[in-house]
């Protein structure tokens, strides 16, 4: 066991619980247990680096789906050949079996502690916290801010491997210091780690960024800005083939092609709510006293086209389709080849329908999305129903109605799904479809949303 679970909360194994509390064991072979193990390994990584490089200041070190990382301000630039020594020091700390203990202290006390240690990044994190009480985890002479839980002692972090180093701006802000991010992974057994390393080597062999460069398909250019893609002649031909396929598939299903501008006045995004709920991901510019926005989404443009003439129930469902290029600010630390960029073209469609047509349309779109992905050879999918986030527009009644429509469509097709609580967008719930690739990784691909809010905000109507 690496932790315990009380209701939906993971806690340390030595946490004192009220009498009669029911707790479940969490083992290192479960997804939850693996994250606990890896989060503890991240702390061991930070401890190892500080021992090897005195003066290192620590930023953040979370667990991830595939391992963990820690962002650190290290006095000297790490090189790939330094990783083996870091891993060896981690193994030494693991073998010491240092107890990992939790303390709860006042926020001001924690700020003073980390200020005295010269840990300016930790101080900044603490100053931004609203909690009056914060938790600290200690192992030997190492201490870190953390909500936990963690394994009972360092011997429980399992088999560890340091994988790579990269740069990462503090808090993803290009105007803040560049830190060094050290990536690693941990598994309960040597066998699991060996299997992961083999999979990772295969992933590197298939890495689309390397293939794109070697096949002369696309490139990125620092002087042009991070996250914007240049398609070379071969890449443009391949992209055109995919676009032609999508256009034909939409045409066969009754979608009408539209083209909308890349730039809108900010007034439109005030109506849609994007400026209130999404502005940190938008590119704004000022000209002649007017604010304009490079579009992050195609939705408002399609709604404006709908409003250009009176509509009747006989027109429903009315389907618009666009290969729309959008621009969204993504922090540099999360950019990843073609899979996470700042400018991209998406096959984006909007269906205007009556309420009694809604479930049938969702079922059709589900079938359409799966058909397209199967054409490209994908056969394994996971479905997630993402519900209302904490910051959202619209009434509870509207959200419940939209969420139920999506759930009913999934259940009508006997599609198993998981609820991703609070992960919907601000204007509506959604179904996210994730596909599994040839080496077992999952990727978010298609999204189906139900939106009662934007039609209300734009005053859409039809005659009955």
Residue 156: which CATH number?
3.30.980.10
Flag whether 316 is in a domain: no
Which stretch of DSSP H or E encloses residue 361?
A: helix 358-375
Flag whether 339 is in a domain: no
Q: What angle do CA 262, 267, 273 make, to 5 degrees?
A: 90
**pLDDT tens per residue, range 21-45:** 888 899 998 999 999 999 999 999 9
According to the model, what pLDDT value does residue 335 have?
A: 86
Determine the Cα–Cα distance for residues 4 and 130; give it in Å rounded to an integer.
26
Sort residue 414 into left (φ over 0), alpha (ψ -120 to 50) or beta: left
Last residue of a domain, one of 161, 176, 206: 206
According to the model, what pLDDT value does residue 424 have?
A: 87
Flag whether 224 is in a domain: no
Flag whether 227 is in a domain: no
The whole model's pTM is what? 0.76
Reported as half-sphere exposure (CB side, CA atoms, 13 A), residue 392 has a value of 23
Q: In angstroms, what CA-CA distances link 148 with 24, 32, 112, 114? A: 17, 12, 21, 18
Using the predicted structure, report yes or no on whether residue 333 has a pLDDT greater than 80.
Answer: no
Flag whether 270 is in a domain: no
DSSP lists the bridge partners of residue 316 as none
Q: Which two tokens stand for residue 225?
A: 């800005």
Using the predicted structure, report yes or no on whether residue 225 has a pLDDT greater than 80.
Answer: yes
According to the model, what pLDDT value does residue 133 have?
A: 96
Q: What percent of the chain has pLDDT over 70?
A: 100
Domain count, the chain: 2
State CA 271 to chain mean position distance: 27
Flag whether 312 is in a domain: no
Using the predicted structure, report yes or no on whether residue 175 has a pLDDT greater than 90.
Answer: no
- DSSP per-residue letters across 299-344: HHHHHHHHTTS--BGGGPSEEEEEEEEEE----GGG-BTTTB-SEE
Using the predicted structure, report yes or no on whether residue 85 has a pLDDT greater than 90.
Answer: yes
Using the predicted structure, report yes or no on whether residue 441 has a pLDDT greater than 90.
Answer: no
According to the model, what pLDDT value does residue 438 have?
A: 84
Using the predicted structure, report yes or no on whether residue 354 has a pLDDT greater than 80.
Answer: yes
**pLDDT tens per residue, range 270-317:** 999 999 889 999 999 999 999 999 999 999 999 999 999 999 999 999
Flag whether 217 is in a domain: no
**pLDDT tens per residue, range 183-216:** 999 999 999 999 999 998 998 899 999 999 999 9
Determine the Cα–Cα distance for residues 339 and 245; give it in Å rounded to an integer.
20
Flag whether 199 is in a domain: yes
Q: Would you call the peptide bond into 149 cis, given omega within 30 degrees of 0 as the criterion? A: yes
Last residue of a domain, one of 180, 206, 232: 206
According to the model, what pLDDT value does residue 463 have?
A: 95
According to the model, what pLDDT value does residue 288 have?
A: 92
Name residue, tokens 């009669």: 20
Instruction: Give the closest residue to 38 by CA, choosing from 63, 60, 61.
Output: 63
Residue-number span of the structural domain to which 382 is assigned? 353-464
Using the predicted structure, report yes or no on whether residue 427 has a pLDDT greater than 90.
Answer: no
Using the predicted structure, report yes or no on whether residue 57 has a pLDDT greater than 90.
Answer: yes
Last residue of a domain, one of 184, 206, 228: 206
CATH at 365? 3.30.930.10
């Amino acid at each position: 066991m690496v932790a315990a679970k009380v209701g939906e909360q993971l806690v340390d194994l030595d946490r004192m619980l009220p009498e009669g509390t029911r707790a479940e064991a969490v083992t290192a072979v479960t997804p939850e247990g693996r994250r606990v193990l890896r989060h503890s390994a991240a702390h061991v990584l930070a401890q190892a680096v500080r021992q090897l490089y005195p003066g290192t200041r620590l930023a953040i070190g979370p667990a991830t789906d595939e391992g963990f990382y820690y962002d650190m301000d290290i006095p000297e630039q790490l090189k790939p050949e330094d990783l083996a020594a870091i891993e060896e020091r981690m193994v030494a700390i693991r073998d010491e079996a240092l107890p990992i203990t939790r303390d709860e202290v006042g926020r001001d006390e924690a700020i003073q502690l980390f200020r005295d240690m010269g840990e300016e990044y930790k101080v900044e994190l603490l100053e931004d916290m609203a909690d009056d009480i914060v938790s600290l985890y200690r192992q030997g002479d190492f201490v870190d801010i953390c909500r936990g839980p963690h394994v009972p002692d360092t011997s429980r972090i399992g088999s560890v491997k340091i994988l790579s180093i990269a740069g990462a701006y503090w808090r993803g802000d290009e105007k803040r210091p560049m830190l060094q991010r050290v990536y690693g992974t941990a598994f309960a057994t040597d066998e699991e780690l060996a299997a992961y390393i083999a999979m990772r080597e295969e992933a590197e062999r298939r890495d689309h960024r390397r293939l794109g460069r070697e096949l002369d398909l696309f490139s990125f250019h620092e002087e042009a800005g991070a996250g914007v893609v240049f398609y070379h002649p071969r890449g443009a031909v391949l992209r055109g083939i995919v676009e032609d396929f999508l256009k034909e598939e939409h045409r066969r299903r009754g979608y009408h092609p539209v083209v909308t501008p890349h730039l809108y006045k900010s007034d439109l995004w005030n109506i849609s709510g994007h400026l209130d709920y999404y502005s940190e991901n938008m590119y704004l510019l000022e000209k002649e006293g007017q604010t304009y926005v490079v579009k992050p989404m195609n939705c408002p443009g399609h709604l404006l086209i709908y409003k250009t003439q009176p509509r009747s129930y006989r027109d429903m469902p009315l389907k618009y389709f666009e290969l729309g290029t959008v621009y969204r600010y993504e922090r540099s630390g999360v950019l990843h080849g073609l899979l996470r960029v700042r400018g991209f073209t998406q096959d984006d469609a909007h269906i205007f329908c009556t309420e009694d047509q809604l479930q049938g349309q969702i079922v059709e779109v589900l079938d359409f999305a799966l058909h397209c992905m199967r054409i490209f050879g994908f056969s394994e999918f996971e479905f997630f129903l993402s519900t209302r986030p904490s910051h959202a527009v619209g009434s509870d009644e509207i959200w419940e109605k939209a969420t139920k429509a999506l759930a009913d469509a999934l259940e009508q097709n006997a599609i198993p799904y998981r609820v991703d609580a609070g992960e919907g967008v601000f204007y509506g719930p959604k179904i996210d479809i994730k596909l599994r690739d040839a080496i077992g990784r999952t990727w978010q691909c298609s999204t189906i949303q139900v939106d009662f809010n934007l039609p209300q905000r734009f005053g859409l109507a039809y005659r009955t």
